[in-house]
Structure 1
Amino acid sequence: MNYTGRYPSSRPRRLRQSDWVRRLTREHRLSVDDLIWAMVVHDGAEDEIPVAAMPGVARYSVRAAAEAAKRAAKLGIPAIAVFPHIDAAKKDATGKEALNKNGLICTAVRAMKDAAPDVGIMVDVALDPFTDHGHDGLLRDGRIVNDDTVKVLTEQALVQVEAGADIVAPSDMMDGRVGAIRTALDAAGKHDTLIMSYAAKYASAFYGPYREAIGSGKLGSGAVANPGDKRTYQMDFANSDEAMREVAMDVAEGADMLLVKPGMPYLDIVARVKQEFGLPTYAFQVSGEYAMIKAAAQNGWIDEDRAIIESLTAFKRAGADGIVTYFAPKAAEMLG
């Protein structure tokens, strides 16, 4: 060693030399309390239908979803986010099945709350699982119409809350939907229902496996009708200041909690949202993020368990109060 100056008196490696000191000086901690289990339910009789693009993830029947809610309670997972895969025959251009009080989501919510009343149930407010064109809103003359879509979304939210949902999470990115939903909930006496707004949801390539999971991958005719092209309402991935404007609007309209989607490629947005607004802020570790970790692990390229915990902890480090993730049950088991 040819170092001629005075050797530094400060040696950061001292704080890394043993497991006990690393634990003692750790800045951010991941716990089961940080997890929201992303779960897809289907309206068939088969308990579990594997999703090919998401190894280890299956669509659950209503019965299986109720059992999964019991499992969540045993694992200490606070909440489950439910997404539907409905029979294609029930889909149409208006997504009217979203308003069915005895439809899949309402039936599943009731069953899950009966099975595990202390587990919070979060429901997606959007039309893409219910429309035959795969878009989150009403499609007319090649355009997604905002205000008429908001009216339908408001009805959808009310139906889901009547079924027992604890959190409504509008993911559609229509302008003004949070305010409309909050007004309708309050008018119906549902003052305690939480709204977790997808306040900054980006038009992302990382949603592909999810579209298979919920069966919304059908391509329409032309670019606008293609459910993979949602750029007229989901955000441009190059923008961050725009996200702050979107979040500010949702906060002003009555959002209780904020969600950034996708997660890992948008840690900077998570950090800015939490720092600038201070509300409970969450990240969604989306299907593409899940699939990449699973695929790399299956090829022996990464250690799956370590990658799961590291990726989830990254959201906490960025400022997230919790994470919506398909890894929730496995992570909960690892966290003990």
Structure 2
Amino acid sequence: MKFVDEAYIDIAAGDGGNGCVSFRHEKYKEFGGPNGGDGGRGGHVFAVADPNLNTLVDFRYSRRHEARRGEHGMGSDMFGAAGDDIVLKMPVGTIITDAETGEVLYELLAPGEMITIAKGGDGGFGNLRFKSAINRAPRQKTPGWPGERKSLKLELKVLADVGLLGMPNAGKSTLIAAISNARPKIADYPFTTLHPNLGVVRVGPEQSFVVADIPGLIEGASEGAGLGHLFLRHLQRTRLLLHIVDIAPFDEGVDPVAQAKAIVAELKKYDQSLHDKPRWLVLNKLDMIQQDQRAALIKDFVKRYKFKGPVFEISALTREGCESLIKAIYLHVKTQQVAEQAPAEVDPRFAEPSDS
């Protein structure tokens, strides 16, 4: 299925039903009291995070979503029924923003999370509400309140622990296919990957993490060049970035160090916080280099690149070095998960007094 990560929709909650003006008409009672009921509230519009969805493609073909209005009030003290609510199922990781102002309204981060994105209008009052000691026969009623109407932009950010970053043909798709259950398209031409691929990497029983492969970046991506700029947002929620570098490019005159620095520059231009994320260097395609030349080539690359973080040397094609990389990634991701779940330190000024 084609990966669709943006969609625009119009939603309308139901209007409230109108109140009713009515009086009792009973035998032998010439002046019956008021008995007009209130109108029912309009239906709400909810959004729920469905873990079984991974695309917003359904909203490309169904843009208008309206809840039913509440029924009008009736005589005999009968209130109108509430309008039916509607529930819009969206992938986990969907960000809902106001299409006109760009303000972020909601985020669906947990499976099963449900939020109200448009409230139905309250029902109007019937004349029964206006009865008083000095107004025995009120003829007032109020109309129902209108439901909320919004134009929304839906944006899906892939929820992955690890993001693969690199130039086209750096070997990202080969790597994700080698270490996970993902089966991306792999070919020897640039921009083979046209949409993000998610893969689950199994380290052991109940030990796994999710890795995302996005289209390769080129210089100028932060300004819209190439395909990768469309998907840089998917790296913003990852815990770790793996910078995949082709250490043995086919084209003569191509400097892997210059390419690596260009990618990092694009990250910084796009988002400083993304640039500041933990980033590991993964030198790929060792199988293309003679065994006796590897050490010198890698040493020269690291020295010129001046990279101070972890460096891994692998061949995604032959899986050489992949096992140690997987174990290191899992340990890093697990450590971050534990740190995120740790309770925050309580300021001593607001700590509860002890019994002693």
- State the TM-score, normalizing by the size of structure 1: 0.31
- Higher share of residues assigned helix: 1
- Higher share of residues assigned strand: 2
Larger Rg: 2
Structure with more contact order per residue of length (Cα contacts < 8 Å, sep ≥ 6): 1
- State the TM-score, normalizing by the size of structure 2: 0.29
